[in-house]
Amino acid sequence: MNLFPLISYKFSQKTFRKLQRKGLSEEVIRQLSHLEEKFFETPEELQAELPETAAVRNNEKLLLRSAKGYCRLDRLIPNRSIREWVEALLFALIVATVVRTYLFAPFKIPSGSMIPTIQIGDHIFATMYTYGTEIPILGIRVFADPVKRGDIVIFPYPKNPSVDYIKRTIGLPGETLEIRNDKVFIDGKELDEPYAFFDRPKGQSDQNQSFSDGPVSNFGPVQIPEGKLFVMGDNRYNSADSRYWGFVDVDEISGKGQIIYWSHDPRESLTSGYQFSRILTLLR
């Protein structure tokens, strides 16, 4: 016998109340009382136990439909109190998974690559539906909006997809991007970047070198392929981004950073390092 079948049949007090609301008489309910709390794995097993009375047999389809259930925890966990706790926990996990995957997701920022817009220790919410909702299995996105320049986006790090990265969208598909003396040019036109921050790490003086020995002040020109994005951190002298590991696939963008809901610098103690003024700050 299958210990926990996907589909099973059972007459409970809830089932009997449902049948009464559907018009079954007290006499029919009484004739079924000996089946209360018994499990049947197939409709044939249940049919074999039904009384051979006309009132019961005339309502056989309704009885089978009302007794049918899916993944019954009450068979696996007979204790009602424990079962209700487990059901509540499962429901909460399902809701949390749906919300996290399709609506809003929290992220904690461990680095300073987006300073000053996002500080180390900021906790943010990202909307996971802004760039479309992916249909499971099919892999199709519906209600998708295009990524816009300036959007703060969440995506898996291209060199380690298990790690989420957050950067700002700078270059869009088909554009030519170039950096000259820290200024970004898109198709030859200088980009206005009020969010960009330039604070060279100590000991670094060469305007053409960064913390990772790659170009910062001067880069490109490069043409951004179709379906790709060029992303950068706001903290231009301390951000590993498209200048070092290349473009990001548009389809890999999972969410858009929206708001800071908590902020505590992990380098400080539990009694200090809180930045309450940053709470509920919108990301722009």
Tell me how crowded residue 139 is: count the other CB atoms within 10 A of its CB.
Answer: 8
What's residue 196's pLDDT?
Answer: 93
Which three-class secondary structure state does DSSP give residue 95? helix
What's residue 6's pLDDT?
Answer: 77
Which of 155, 203, 151, 142 has its CA nearest to residue 172?
Answer: 151
Rounded CA separation 103/33 (Å) = 46
What's residue 96's pLDDT?
Answer: 73
Rounded CA separation 49/34 (Å) = 10
Residues that are catalytic: 113, 167
Q: What is the pLDDT along the chain (284 residues), one digit of tens a residue?
A: 555 567 888 888 888 888 888 888 888 888 888 888 888 888 888 888 888 888 888 888 888 888 888 777 776 777 767 767 776 787 778 777 777 777 778 889 988 899 999 999 999 999 888 887 776 666 676 667 889 999 999 999 988 988 999 999 999 999 999 999 999 999 999 999 999 998 865 544 444 344 344 456 889 899 999 999 999 999 999 999 999 999 999 989 989 999 999 998 888 877 788 888 899 899 99
Beta bridge partners of 70: 7
What's residue 5's pLDDT?
Answer: 65
Q: Token digits for 155?
A: 């995506």
What's residue 213's pLDDT?
Answer: 44
What's residue 210's pLDDT?
Answer: 42
What's residue 248's pLDDT?
Answer: 95
What's residue 85's pLDDT?
Answer: 79
- For the chain, how long is the longest CA-to-CA vector? 95
Report CA Rg, the chain.
Answer: 30
What domains can be seen in the chain, in order of their start residue?
7-76 (no CATH), 105-282 (2.10.109.10)
Backbone angles phi, psi at 86, to 5 degrees: -65, -45
What's residue 105's pLDDT?
Answer: 87
What's residue 220's pLDDT?
Answer: 85
Rounded CA separation 27/16 (Å) = 12
What's residue 205's pLDDT?
Answer: 46
pTM above 0.95, yes or no: no
